[in-house]
Structure 1
Amino acid sequence: MNIKKILLIILLFTSNSLFAEWKQPALSHNLTAVKKDISASDFTLENMDEEKIKLSNYHGKVVLINFWATWCPPCVREMPSMERLHNQISEEDFKVIAINQMEDGDQVFAFTGQLETDLTFEILFDTESKVSQAYAVNGLPTTYLIDKKGKIRYRAVGGREFDHPEVIKIIKQLAAE
């Protein structure tokens, strides 16, 4: 074996161990308050069971809308915290809706089957990106927090740690209004 092949093999083994040691940065928990009085655009999308779901069905609840895709690493990283948040706050006051971008049910079903956590919150499909356009989504993940009156109160772009105490505090404050 020549020296170039040996060096290549050594390089491959050492680079793999370096990447295994590399850690991704922690997810943020910050949400940006929306200053303007903006009503959330109503929409109707299908869920995993092919049922049509309208945002307006949840009027009177605080709603977290998260735009995501299976190919988006920060989206994948934040899913377990979104599930924990969903389980921590009563569905009487709060609803989590994850809106998948341009993928079909088979792709998302395969993806959710690979997760360590079962997702029990609502997953909807925006296959034509009409809802993401209405919400001016320019990057994934993008999250909106909507109050009980249907007003957009907070926005976040990028991965979040949704079950962080500060996020829970904001949601509970909105639910109490």
Structure 2
Amino acid sequence: MCHGQLAQLRDQQKNISGSGAAVIAIDPHESYSAKSLLKDAGFAEADLQYPLLLDPTQTVSAMYGVAFQMRIHTEISNRPATFIIDKQGILQYARRGSYFGDRPSVADIIAELKKLPVDGF
């Protein structure tokens, strides 16, 4: 979970929800660790305006092919990834990063959402 990208997603929530989409963040840490990381990054609980799925067993991460672990400072993290999944559960967009900073910008994510029919979400 990239704190900078989470903040950008929060700031663009109106544009994202306007496209009919919803954000779900997935973090490979335990609850106490994820909350601590968010707090250290300056997030209050009210700042996170979308669900945060904790995946310490990497079940969901493995389903989407991102259960590869890498060391970031003193933490172990999954490779970054962004997915757009429609209401029918069909994967419409996938970007799996090869290193921690390899992720699409929020502007790129919004551009991908605009390519899809609004009723798909």
* TM-score over 0.5 (shorter chain): yes
Identity %: 25
**Helix, strand or coil: the match of 2:105?**
coil
Q: Report the counterpart of residue 145 of structure 1 in structure 2.
A: 84
**Backbone CA RMSD of aligned residues:** 2.3
The 1:114–1:175 alpha-carbon spacing in structure 2 relative to 1, beyond 3 Å, is farther
Unpaired stretches in structure 1, ≥5 consecutive residues: 1-67, 69-74
Q: Report the counterpart of residue 12 of structure 2 in structure 1.
A: 85
Letter in 2 for 1:172: K
1:8-45 deviations in Å (ceiling 9; x for gaps) = xxxxxxxxxxxxxxxxxxxxxxxxxxxxxxxxxxxxxx
Rounded Cα–Cα distance in structure 2 between residues aligned with 1:122 and 1:175: 23
Unpaired stretches in structure 2, ≥5 consecutive residues: 69-77
Out of 112, 117, 120, the residue aligned to residue 170 of structure 1 is 112
Letter in 2 for 1:168: I
1:51-83 deviations in Å (ceiling 9; x for gaps) = xxxxxxxxxxxxxxxxx3xxxxxx233222222
Listed as ranges, the matches of 1:1-177 within 5 Å are 68=1, 75-90=2-17, 93-101=20-28, 103-117=29-43, 118-137=47-66, 138=68, 139-156=78-95, 157=97, 158-162=102-106, 164=107, 166-176=108-118, 177=120
Rounded Cα–Cα distance in structure 1 between residues aligned with 2:14 and 2:39: 19
More strand as a share of residues: 1
Q: How far did 1:153 drift?
A: 1.4
TM-score normalized by the length of structure 1: 0.49
Does the 8 A contact of 2:24 with 2:51 survive in 1? yes
Q: How far did 1:170 drift?
A: 2.2
Q: Which shows bigger deviation, 119-128 or 137-146? A: 137-146
Q: Which structure would you say has the larger Rg?
A: 1
Rounded Cα–Cα distance in structure 1 between residues aligned with 2:19 and 2:116: 13
